[in-house]
């Protein structure tokens, strides 16, 4: 039996709590791990923004820009899919069971999931501009991606996650979420991601 997610529901099944993540895991607080991933993404995108600012029309792409694109594509291929799964499979379903979201209608989580789909197309656009060795297209793609991620992350960090922390306060639910997130990284061989 899975743990009831909403904080106002009594937890009655501590005997089937999931195993704790090993001590090597970066955090037992699922929200701390989600926030840390955001900081990692923002840091990589900050370097991308600075690197593409140096590009000039008609000039070759710089080594710095190519390295920043490489780092960005690595996180979009490896870290962000794990993070999106944390949100879409671990956090959002539990929020959808809580009032007022359990009553139906479009939720903020639906909007975040639409953003996740759009983000994948932005990464593809970045890759296409790099492949074409087009400095201005790369600048446009990078700046659009940076702006969209900053907006998305600020909505999650400043609105959605604080609300989720209030709705999901049962320590057993938080432990269950942490265990799911850790298991996802064990499967991906990326336990420190
Ligand atoms: Fe998200
Ligand atoms: Fe996120």
CATH code, 179: 1.20.120.520
127 inside domain: yes
Categorize the per-residue pLDDT at 193 as very low, low, confident or very high, splitting at 50, 70 and 90. confident
pLDDT value of residue 65: 98
* Ligand 2 midpoint to CA 47 (Å): 19
For residue 109, report the distance from its CA to the centre of ligand 1, in Å.
9
- Provide the whole-model pTM: 0.86
- Alpha carbon of 91 to ligand 1 centroid (Å): 10
| Residue 162 belongs to some domain of the structure | yes
Exposure b/e, 104-136, CB count within 10 A at least 16 = b:
eeebbbeebeebbeebeebbebbbebbeeebbe
Ligand 1 centroid distance, CA of 58 (Å): 36
Count up the domains in the chain and report the number.
1
- Residue 36: inside a domain: yes
Query: How many degrees, rounded to 5, is the angle at CA 86 between CA 80 and CA 89?
Result: 125
- Supply the pLDDT for residue 17: 44
Ligand 2 centroid to Cα of residue 57, in Å, is 34
Distance (Å) from CA 60 to ligand 2 centroid:
34
Ligand 2 centroid, distance to 58 Cα (angstroms): 36
Q: Using 50, 70 and 90 to split pLDDT, how confident is the model at 6?
A: low
Domain of 59 in residue numbering reads as: 27-187
**What ligand is nearest to the CA atom of residue 37?**
2
Mean pLDDT of 24-49: 89
Q: Over the chain, what is the mean pLDDT? A: 89
The whole-number average pLDDT for the span 76-99 is 97
Instruction: Give the 3-state secondary structure of residue 134.
Output: coil
Torsion of CA 63, 69, 71, 72, to 10 degrees: 160
Ligand 1 geometric centre to CA of 17 (Å)? 27
pLDDT in tens, 100-159: 999 989 999 999 999 999 999 999 999 999 999 999 999 999 999 999 999 999 999 999
- Classify residue 105: in a domain, yes or no: yes
């Amino acid at each position: 039996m899975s743990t009831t997610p909403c904080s106002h529901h009594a937890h009655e099944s501590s005997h089937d709590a999931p195993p704790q993540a090993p001590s090597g895991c970066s955090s037992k607080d699922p929200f701390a791990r989600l926030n840390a991933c955001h900081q990692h993404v923002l840091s990589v995108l900050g370097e991308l923004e600075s690197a593409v600012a140096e590009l000039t029309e008609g000039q070759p792409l710089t080594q710095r820009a190519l390295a920043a694109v490489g780092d960005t594509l690595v996180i979009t291929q490896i870290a962000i899919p794990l993070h999106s799964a944390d949100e879409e499979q671990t956090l959002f379903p539990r929020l959808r069971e809580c009032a007022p979201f359990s009553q139906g209608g479009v939720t903020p989580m639906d909007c975040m999931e639409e953003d996740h789909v759009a983000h994948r197309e932005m990464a593809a656009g970045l890759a296409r501009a790099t492949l074409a060795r087009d400095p201005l297209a790369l600048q446009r793609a990078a700046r659009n991606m940076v702006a969209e991620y900053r907006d998305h992350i600020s909505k999650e960090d400043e609105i959605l996650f604080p609300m989720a922390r209030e709705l999901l306060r049962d320590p057993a639910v938080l432990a269950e979420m942490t265990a799911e997130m850790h298991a996802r990284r064990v499967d991906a061989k990326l336990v420190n991601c």
